[in-house]
Structure 1
């Protein structure tokens, strides 16, 4: 039987690393892309065997996408079955105080990078369909907009919109498309401050707000479920599930809660 393959962006740490290990343990050929070459080497070192590959990739570079996917496909026996668009950065704080380059960086990596990846991966996914999949990492921030997260929420709402559009657009090609929407996940992203004007780690703000931090392995499991399931959205963690429920059934109550919530993350 032909070995299936998955290419994962942001594979040098966090969700990307956990997903690489999860799929590799189940016999898949795993490729990771990242700008963090040391991180990718650490990820590959955690995977036994030879069914693994890494290539430097800045998801903002459309030409680089074509190059790295061609190289990965060649290493994986000429096929790509799944692309996980996972690479992302966090940006938080009052919109009025964000520097333009912080806004651009978040939009370019979190949203344009997903579009570029989908476009570049399409011919490979079409060739390996049925059974191929595009999985996009969204967030609970793509379910409801929170204070101090306007730019980040815009990207994650956008990721869900891209997924929904391509689910329809690629249906005739039999390519599965889904979004995975975690709440707060135990990754290095929580160690950041949200924006350069803050020095308080996001992790401390999450704990102070009484919100749960979900183990990163749970997201890897959700990606596996998305590849093999038939839903459009996969909500990971209690926060994401509660927010999705409230947004659908109690939108006015959720809006009131968000407007009276604690100060924005990143401030």
Structure 2
């Protein structure tokens, strides 16, 4: 094995995944970027230092494709996988009655099933590089307290949180860390999307109308670095995430009332 550490990141073409890849590459790691969007993936690769990155087309919903992608990555990395970053995800908002069956299934499959498949596929490689290897899951502030107008998305992120907590115990004997990031609204291309097929309003506009902050993506990348190298199980990113965590623990009744108000403000 090469002494150079290696990280594999899903959803690596843009947004949080790209920012994590850039930071880890700057700090001397070999970076594998995986995404279903191979055109944007190629653009991202072009801005990273030569010899520091490999790219892999991957649909995280396809379990067999995980094995192929990780085999290709470890061949490029000299046999190492120190951090598996389960970051791929898709948004889904709006009232539950407005979400189509196809949208619901896609959100569940990418956000939750994809993370489970990624953890399962990465385990042999993480065991080989343990101790100090890490599974890093991108959860969300929506996994702290259920978000009004985003019930399916929240359900997937609660699932990612549960996966993190379950595997933290299950993999302790192997010396593998399991961590999650819980960001709120992050300045990524996903905010330009509509919350669902029945809406033509960008998520960014709804966030601003509700008076919520949008956190720079570089803060998530720094949080990822700290999570991999620290002892905190869940890392909160952004003021909204911190407020939700505080409210869920100390003021649950008030948080319920604010959730209802937020639903009305977001137009759900």
TM-score of the superposed pair, with normalisation by structure 1: 0.98
Secondary structure, counterpart of 2:79 in structure 1: coil
> Deviation at 1:19?
0.6
- Aligned partner of 2:161 in structure 1 is 160
Match of 2:180 in 1: 179
Gap regions ≥5 residues in structure 1: none
Work out the CA distance in 2 between the residues paired with 1:84 and 1:266. Answer: 34
Query: Would you say 1:229 and 2:230 are equivalent positions?
Result: yes
Partner of 1:215: 216
Query: For the structure 1 residues 97 and 262, does the alpha-carbon distance in structure 2 shift closer, same or farther, using more than 3 Å as the test?
Result: closer
Structure 2, unmatched stretches of 5+, are none
Q: Describe the superposition over 1:111-137 as per-residue Cα deviations: whole angstroms up to 9, x where unpaired.
A: 000000000000000100011000000
Q: State the partner residue of 2:119.
A: 118
- Tell me the CA shift for residue 265 of structure 1: 4.8
Q: Is the 8 A contact 2:33 2:55 kept in 1?
A: yes
Aligned to 2:144: 143
Give the paired residue count: 267
3-state SS of 1:263 partner: helix
Q: Distance in 1 between matches of 2:265 and 2:134?
A: 35
2:36 is the alignment partner of 1:31: no
Alignment of 1:44-83 (within 5 A): 44-83=45-84
- The equivalent residue for 1:169 is 170
Q: Please state how far the C-alpha of 1:209 moved relative to its aligned partner.
A: 1.2
* Displacement of 1:55: 0.7
Deviation at 1:42, TM superposition (A): 1.4
Q: What SS does the corresponding residue of 2:262 show, helix, strand or coil?
A: coil
Runs of 4+ in 1 over 4 A off after TM superposition: 264-267
Distance in 2 (CA, whole Å) between partners of 1:220 and 1:14 is: 10
Tell me if the contact between 2:20 and 2:224 (Cα under 8 Å) persists in the aligned partners.
Answer: yes
Aligned equivalents of 2:267, 2:233: Cα separation in 1: 30
Distance 1:179 1:233 in 2: 5
**Alignment partners' CA distance in 1, 2:124 and 2:237:** 29
Q: Is 1:6–1:84's contact at 8 Å kept on the other side of the alignment?
A: yes
Give per-residue Cα distances to partners, 1:159-218, cap 9 Å, x unaligned.
Answer: 000000000000000100011000100001110111000001010111111111000000
C-alpha contact 2:209 2:265 (8 A) present in aligned 1: no
Q: Is the 8 A contact 2:210 2:262 kept in 1?
A: no
Corresponding position of 2:6 = 5
Please give the residue correspondences for 1:126-141 in structure 2 after superposition, counting only pairs within 5 Å: 126-141=127-142
Computed over aligned residues only, the root mean square deviation of the Cα atoms, in angstroms, reads 1.1
